[in-house]
Amino acid sequence: MSWTHEFKEALKTNEDLKNFFDQDFPEINYPLFIPQVFASKILEAGPDSALWKQFLPNEQEDNQTLGRLDPIGDKVHAKNNQLIHRYENRVLFTPTTVCPILCRYCFRKNELSLKDDIFDQKFTEAKKYLKENPSINEVIFTGGDPFILSNEKLAFYIQEFSEIDSLKYLRFHTRTPIILPSRIDEGLLSILISAKHLFKRSLIMIHVNHVSELTDDVAEAIEQLTNEGIEVYSQTVLLKGVNDSTDALFDLFTKLSDCKVKPYYLHHPDEARGTMHFYLPLEEGRKIVASLHNKLPGWALPQYIIDIPGGEGKVPAFNPESFEFSGVLINRLGEKIKIN
Ligand SMILES: *Cc1c(COP(=O)(O)O)cnc(C)c1O
Ligand code: SF4
Domain ranges in the chain are: 3-338
Reported as a single tens digit per residue, the pLDDT across 152-194 is 999 999 999 999 999 999 999 999 999 999 999 999 999 999 9
Distance 14 CA to ligand 2 centre (A): 20
CATH topology for 3-338 is: TIM Barrel (3.20.20)
Which atom of ligand 1 is least distant from the CA of 265? 9
Phi-psi region of 133 (alpha: psi -120 to 50; beta: other; left: phi over 0): beta
Q: Among the bound ligands, name the one nearest to the CA of residue 209.
A: 2
List, as own/partner pairs, every contact residues 108-115 make where C-beta atoms lie below 8 angstroms and the sequence separation is at least 24, other chains included: 108/74, 108/272, 109/30, 109/272, 109/274, 109/275, 110/69, 110/70, 110/272, 110/273, 110/274, 111/69, 111/70, 111/74, 112/144, 113/30, 113/31
Q: What per-residue confidence (pLDDT) applies to 67?
A: 85
Pairwise CA distance, residues 142 & 92, whole Å: 6
Average pLDDT taken over every residue of the chain: 91
State residue 336's pLDDT score.
Answer: 81
List per-block mean pLDDT (blocks of 10 residues) for the chain, which spans 340 residues. 90 97 95 97 98 96 84 74 92 94 92 52 88 98 94 96 98 98 97 97 98 98 97 98 98 98 97 94 92 94 89 80 70 72
Residue of 140, 235, 312 to test ligand 1 pocket, by largest number of atoms within 8 Å of CB? 140
- Ligand 2 binding pocket (C-beta < 6 A) is 99, 102-103, 106, 108, 145, 175, 207
Distance 106 CA to ligand 1 centre (A): 16
